[in-house]
Chains A and B, each alone.
Chain A
Amino acid sequence: EVQLVESGGGLVQPGGSLRLSCAASGFTFSSYEMNWVRQAPGKGLEWVSYISSSGSTIYYADSVKGRFTISRDNAKNSLYLQMNSLRAEDTAVYYCARRVLPDYWGQGTLVTVSS
């Protein structure tokens, strides 16, 4: 069974940093591209970042470019999102998702940026 479990969310002040993790199981993690997708409270889905299976190709949404860094450790079956210079508008549930057009999603982790 495919499982994606996010962790690392929480309350952070504007300008602060947070690192999200996603633990994958039930499939060959190193064979799949992965994404981070977020959803602000009461809003729709917003694609955030993509990483290829090897990690050699990475994309970011304009809204996070230069502030967020996606990475993966295929030996640990893990996906990461380093978030720096956080803003109030980054407040959202962050999902890790398998494939460019996701077929499996994690349960999400809430990031709240507030003073």
Chain B
Amino acid sequence: QSALTQPASVSGSPGQSITISCTGTSSDVGGYNYVSWYQQHPGKAPKLMIYEVSNRPSGVSNRFSGSKSGNTASLTISGLQAEDEADYYCSSYTSSSTPCVFGTGTKVTVL
């Protein structure tokens, strides 16, 4: 099972909006409405930001939103803040021999 494809890096200025893509296949992202997004600060465990494509867990800022079109899922961060600088990973159910696959990860830099 190959990792889902994410851009290596995305950057934006404070207050701007950025979007991170997560591209898979019809066997994973395209086949299920089960895509999650995680934020990871250096030296910390990942934190769930979005589940089931577009749902936010309690306590996650509404500046974070998720969507999906075909085999590509997206995470949008609006009103970018310094604290949003982190690595972001997507994950998806798969129909392969493994139940879960992660994305390659995207480093978000706040300029």
Contacts and interface: CB of A to CB of B under 8 A. Distances in A.
Contacts of B46: 45, 95, 102, 105
Interface stretch (B15-23, B64-72, B78-86, B98-106): B98-106
Contact of A103 (B51, B93, B99): B51
Interface in B14-54: 34-36, 38, 45-48, 51
A100 B99 contact: yes
Contacts of A102: 36, 38, 46, 48, 91
B contact patch SS: strand
A103 B57 contact: yes
A60 B104 CA distance: 19
Contacts of A50: 98-100
B48 A44 contact: no
Contact of B102 (A46, A104, A107): A46
B98 A108 contact: no
Nearest to B40: A45
A45 B102 contact: yes
6 contacts: A95-B46, A100-B93, A101-B36, A102-B36, A102-B48, A104-B48
Interface of A: 35, 37, 44-47, 50, 59-61, 95, 100-108
Interface of B: 3, 34-36, 38, 45-48, 51, 57, 89, 91-93, 97-105
